Each structure stands twice: as C-alpha cells, then as structure tokens.
Structure 1
C-alpha cells in the first residue's frame, strides 16, 4: 500500500496530504490502520508535503452548517455538491450491516472538504 502511495506522490507531486486523525481514543481504528496512517504521515513529511489531519469532530463541524451529522447525512451533502458521486451513494446502514465499501469515497471527500473549509475560513 505504501509503495502505491509513494508512486502517486512521485507522479503527481502533491503539496498537501490530508489524513484522518487516528490518534484519539475515540477513533476506533485498528493497530494496522493506525500504523498505516503514521507511515503515510512520515511519507508525506519526508516528501516536504504539508500534512493535515482531521478527526471526526472536525469533519462533523465542517458539515454542521448544513445540518449533516451522521456519515450518511454527510455523504448525501457530498453527493449533492459533487454530481459524479451521486450514483455511488451507499444505502443507509443498519446497525447489523457492515459499512458499504463505497463509503470510503465519501469519507475521503469529507476530509478534502474539511481541509478546504478550514483553510478558507482562516485565510
């Protein structure tokens, strides 16, 4: 996985890397995912990229102004803002269901929007 990300960095030369914050106790991330996030952070920093991390609270705060609190509500807002994502919108998850694989697309988009929202407000 890390080699694939390294190849993308070498090909596209991004200046910013946006990651979910896996450190808080409420992040509920496996040790493997936490280790990957740490490795990605080090990879970004070693490539002189600005690394920004957002926890769930920051993402929820970003979408609070439009009344989206849950992951599905946030995905609905993203699907409205980015029409190309509409057909990938996962169904509402019931508590006995595993998270739909398509949700990761919306989680990544939420991270990106949180980054741009936080930088627009500060500048």
Structure 2
C-alpha cells in the first residue's frame, strides 16, 4: 500500500507562498495541472514562524513533493518575519536534501507578461482562465482600501509554481 502512495505522489512540485495570514500552497504536476491549491491560515494569533513552519512541515510530509518552490527571500520586499521564514524554509530544504528553487516577484511578472498579466489580479485572472480547478476561486478585483482576499495565497502559490515550470522547461 505505501508503495502505491509513494508512486502516486512522485513527480509532484509544491509551491509555497508565505503571507500575513499563514501561507498559500499548491501541489502541481505541471504548469497547467494543479492537484491542490489552498491557503492555510495560522491561528490563534499572533502568528509566528514556528507555527507556520510546523504546518509547512506537515504538508511536506503528507504530500512528499519531489521539488519545493518558494519566493527568493534575498530579492523579496516581504516583512522581516516572512523573510526569516523563507530563509528558514530554504535551510530546511537544504538539510533534508529536497530539491528547491527560488524565484522573485520579478520572475513571476516576467513569466505572466507573456499573458499580458502584470498585476496580482491580472495574474490570478490568467490562472483562473487557464486552469480548470482555479476557475471558481477568482474573486473580484479589490478596491484600494480593501485587504487581500483569503484565497489570494493559493493564486500566489500557483503563480510561483507556473513560474518554476516555465523557467525550467
């Protein structure tokens, strides 16, 4: 039984995208095949990297991805907490000999410029138009005074995964 599970899970890429709520993640087979895309909110508040890393380790152990894709913390304009989390995640992958790749927001925007998508909303819209499992998740474009929608983390993770497949093919 465990051999069937392992063979089923081989070839998977996990894209992780930490945010203020927790993190978004996507399990992908290729650029257009998203098996799972979710946002994980960390509760109770206040959020800490220890809580986030615990959840991330659980997801990695469950899905057993061959490759992990994260945002490049050295080229990120994230908060100090998220930058430290990305650095810790990079170290985690190195210690466990997990294949990992890092990409900047600039890389993501470069890839999606091919779809004439430049903003986060335009990128999410391009994803929802091309990936069946993401069609029903797109929310309306937010107003300047509104916070990000909960589901945005999953679109961020998928955009990171698509960037990985585009840049490595």
Q: How would you bin the TM-score normalised by the shorter chain?
A: 0.7 to 0.9
Q: Give the match for residue 22 of structure 1.
A: 73
1:106 and 1:50 map into 2 onto residues whose CA distance is: 22
| Gap runs ≥5 in structure 1 | none
Q: Give the match for residue 68 of structure 1.
A: 117
Q: CA RMSD of the aligned region, Å? A: 1.3
| Gap runs ≥5 in structure 2 | 1-51
Aligned pair partner of 1:11 in 19, 41, 62:
62
Structure whose residues are more often strand by fraction: 2
TM-score by length of 1: 0.87
Structure whose residues are more often helix by fraction: 1
- The one-character-per-residue Cα deviations of 1:11-48 (angstroms, maximum 9, x if unpaired) are 33322111112323xx3311111111111111111111
Which secondary structure does the structure 1 equivalent of 2:165 belong to?
helix
Decide which moves more: 90-99 or 72-81: 90-99
Taking the TM superposition and a 5 Å limit, the aligned residue runs for 1:1-123 are 1-24=52-75, 27-120=76-169
Following TM superposition, the consecutive aligned residue runs of length 4 or more in structure 1 with deviations greater than 4 angstroms are none
May I ask how many residue pairs the two structures share in their alignment? 118
